[in-house]
Amino acid sequence: MILHEKISEQLPEWRERMKLLAKDHADVVVDEVTVGQIVGGMRDIKSLLTDVSFVDPAHGILLRGMTIPETLKKLPKARGSKMPLVGGLYYLLMTGETPTREQALEVEAEWDKRAEIPEYVYKLLKTMPKDTHPMILLTQAVMSLARNSAFTKKYKEGMKKDVYWESALEDSLDLTAKLPVIAAFIYRYKYFGEKKKPKYNPKLDYGANFARMMKVSDKKGYAELSRLYFILHSDHESGNVSAHATHLVGSSLSDIYFAFSAGLSGLAGPLHGLANQESLGWLLDARKRFGGVPWRDDLYKYAWDTLNSGKVIPGYGHGVLRVPDPRFTALMEFAKARFPDDELVRLADLVFEVAPAVLKEQGKAKDPAPNVDAVSGTLQYYYGVREFEFYTVLFGVGRALGVTANYVWARALSQPLERPKSMTTKMLEDVVAKAKQPA
């Protein structure tokens, strides 16, 4: 299999580099940690290692070194489409190389072979109460797939450490193949009561399959959005909650199903992936309150009302970025090229003018710019996917692409159990008292 071959070729060099760092340079100081960082959610502490992606505060995500516009331009496209094949993105994340169209299609073909969902997963989903949040359903479905993990099976049989990554890759391909099918089933079952299992069509790519299984009316347009959406949400270096949770759990040698269900649980929080649903809710509220796209002054007041009521403006701010998120820009460009007159798109655009100014005036948020969640739901809404509780599921399908690539490389490079050290408040106060003592 193509990804297996490529990773095998690259492994000796990466292992050598890792060995040098671990053995010969272990005592070189990289950074210092301040009290502010310890009490402030570990922000900016450089302590994670990944080559899959990097968030540059001034330029946004670099996927294997490529900006979003470069990624969208250079990856091979689905036939008759302006958007890249998701299989090509997976090849890029896994290998660090830009694939040819054939290589991207080989990954897509792997997904075709693995997209079948075990019957018990459907049964499990159907036993849940009707009002269960779709992120609970997705997390449960993913967790239940651990039953078939190649990694866990081989581990029990005594698999050697240097081949851990091979069964990690097997599981990752299986998981990423099944996710769009599971997500589409959850959508059709939960909101339309459909019990029929979605069928993956080998003649279609990942994005087109998803659009077909979701049964939206404009399948072609939604396939384009799905390709873009999954690519944009795939990875955002390793410190974000979903990636970090997946990595942490994986470091205990839990299989990717356990690890990713932890990542999904983190994604389900309103400060992380759930912000896309909150963000659309905020826009819809504004539209309802003002009977359409409001005047700028009204929107300004609405944004201040949100802040004054102790809430955040969803879709704005970021832990690392200090410019408008290029993923936001890519989605906005997509919308403006296809449906510029859509009322919610115009409203989201006006919020982009007003919200940063309000956040700057308030002076708290370090990044007053929009992140990916500020507009992602608006595009789903346009294509008729209006059940916005479901949006984080879509984020999850995309995020699996990045975190599984990281999981495979973490096993390939024998990244160890993650185990940072904690302190007590008294210990921290003692450190402060000592630092403040006159010399």
Q: Which does 112 bind (CB under 5 to 8 A by kind): ligand MLT, ligand NMX, none?
A: none
Residues 296-315 that bind ligand MLT (CB under 6 A): none
Q: Which two tokens stand for residue 233?
A: 């949400």
The answer to the question of residue 314 lying near ligand NMX (CB under 6 A) is yes
Which member of 14, 312, 336, 346 binds ligand NMX (CB under 6 A)?
Answer: 312
| Binding residues among 4-43 for ligand NMX as defined by CB under 6 A | 43
Task: Tell me if 91 sits within 8 A of 186, measured CB to CB.
Answer: no
Q: Does 371 bind ligand MLT (CB under 6 A)?
A: yes
Using CB under 6 A, which of the segments 91-99, 127-135, 310-318, 396-404 binds ligand NMX? Answer: 310-318
Which of positions 39-98 make contact with ligand NMX (CB under 6 A)?
Answer: 43
Nearer to ligand NMX, 134 or 398 (CB): 398
- When CB distances to ligand MLT are compared, the closest residue is 240
Residue from 227, 236, 247, 411 binding ligand MLT (CB under 6 A): 236
- Minimum Å distance from CB 90 to ligand MLT? 17
User: In terms of CB distance, is 97 or 389 closer to ligand NMX?
Assistant: 389
* 411 is an interface residue for ligand NMX by CB under 6 A: no
Q: Give counts: helices (H), strands (E), the chain.
A: 20, 2
CA torsion angle 344 89 254 158 (round to 10): 160
| 266's tokens | 């983190």
CA distance 257 to 376: 26
Comparison of 152 and 226: residue with beta carbon closer to ligand MLT: 226
Q: Both ends of the chain: CA-CA distance in Å?
A: 64
**Residue linked to tokens 């991207």:** 104
The structure tokens listed for 253 are: 């040698």
3-state secondary structure of 54: strand
Reduce the DSSP state of residue 56 to 3 states and report it: strand
Closest CB to ligand NMX among residues 252, 308: 308
Question: Hey, which residues between 369 and 398 contact ligand NMX (CB under 6 A)?
Answer: 371-373
Binding mask 237-276 for ligand MLT (x = CB under 6 A): ---x------------------------------------
Q: Are 235 and 68 in contact (CB under 8 A)?
A: no
| φ/ψ of residue 2, rounded to 5 | -60, -40
Q: Which does 366 bind (CB under 5 to 8 A by kind): ligand MLT, ligand NMX, none?
A: ligand NMX
Sign of the C-alpha dihedral, residues 346, 350, 353, 359? negative
Q: Does 317 bind ligand NMX (CB under 6 A)?
A: yes
Distance CA 389, CA 135 (A): 8
Find the shortest distance in angstroms from Cβ 372 to ligand NMX. Answer: 5
Integer Rg of the chain from CA:
22
Number of residues that bind ligand NMX (CB under 6 A): 22
Asked if residue 167 binds ligand MLT (CB under 6 A), the reply is: no
Amino acid at 80: G
User: Which residue type sits at 308?
Assistant: N
Does 315 engage in binding with ligand NMX (CB under 6 A)?
yes
Catalytic machinery residues: 272, 318, 373
Nearest distance, CB of residue 391 and ligand NMX, angstroms: 11
Q: How far apart are CA 177 and CA 175, in angstroms?
A: 5
CA distances from 378 to 194, 253, 275, 318, 381 (A): 25, 38, 12, 19, 5
- Closer CB to ligand NMX, residue 111 or residue 282? 282
For 82-102, b/e burial (b = at least 16 CB within 10 A) is ebbbbbbbbbbbbbbebbeee
Q: Decide if residue 319 touches ligand MLT (CB under 6 A).
A: yes
Footprint on this chain of ligand MLT (rule: CB under 6 A)? 236, 240, 319-320, 371-372
Footprint on this chain of ligand NMX (rule: CB under 6 A)? 43, 271-273, 275, 307, 312-319, 359, 364-367, 371-373
